[in-house]
Structure 1
C-alpha cells in the first residue's frame, strides 16, 4: 500500500534554487559638486535615490542577467544646490532553477536585486566616503513594493494608450 500511496502522491515541485555566477559594475560615476564649485554656509543634505531594474535571459540554460540602476542625488536643503551625484549600474548573472516560468519575472526583479543590494550598499558607502562626504548607508529597499509600483505604472500607461487609440 505504501508504494501505491507514493505513486499516487503528486510530484512535488523542486524548490527554487539560485546561484550568483558573477557580479559586476557595468557603469559608475560620482560627481563631487562641492569640490568643483565650493559651497558657503550651512549644509543640510537631502538625498534622493532612484532605482530602476532590468532583467534578461542569457543564452546559457537557466541563466539570467539582472541590472540594478541607482541614481543618487544629494542637494542642500537650505538653498537647493547640488552637493553630489552618483550613478551606478550594478549587475549580476544568476543561475536559477525550479522557478515556474509564470513566476520568473517577479523572481528576477525582486529576489535577484535583493541578493545584489548589500554589495551596492557597500559600493555607495565607499564611494561617497572616498569622495569627501560622510559614507552614505542606503536604507533597505522594498523590491516587492518597487515591483508592484512598476506593474501599476505599466497598467496605467496601457490604459492611457488604449483611450488615445
Structure 2
C-alpha cells in the first residue's frame, strides 16, 4: 500500500467535475471512442459501487462500476478506473479495485467484466472471457476482455452481447 495519506471513500455527487478532469488528463479526448466507453453510454454507474481516492483534499483516483447485462442476465461493468498520472504506481488503483470489488460482493453481485491488462487485473482474480461467450458493442482485443466471478456459478450459461443496463440489476443474479 502507498505511504501517502490516502483516503478511499464513496464517490460524492460534487466529485463529478474533478473526476471528469481526471479522466481527461489520464485518457485524453480519444476515450469517448473506446469500446469500454461506448458500453457505458446512457447508463449511470451504481453509486454504491463508485469510489474515489483522495490525498488531502486532492482527488487522485476514481473507480466506477455500472450495471450491464448479457443475454438478459445482469452483470457489472467495471470502469473507468483512473489514477492521476502523477500518483501512479503507489497502490491507489489497487485500493480502489479492492473497495469496489468488496462492495460488489457485499451487494450480492455475481459477475463483473472489464477491458484491461490481464497482468494487472489477474491479481484481483480476473481472467479472459472465453471466446464466443459474451461480446462487447465494439472492437476489443480478446486478451483484454476480462471477467471475475464474484459468486459461484455466475459465469455458467452467460452468453450474448453485453449492453449497459438502464435499471439496477438484481444483486442475486448479477
Q: TM-score, normalised by structure 1?
A: 0.28
Say which structure, 1 or 2, has more relative contact order (CA 8 Å, 6+ apart).
2
The structure whose residues are more often helix, as a share, is 1
**More strand by proportion, 1 or 2?**
1
Structure with bigger gyration radius: 1
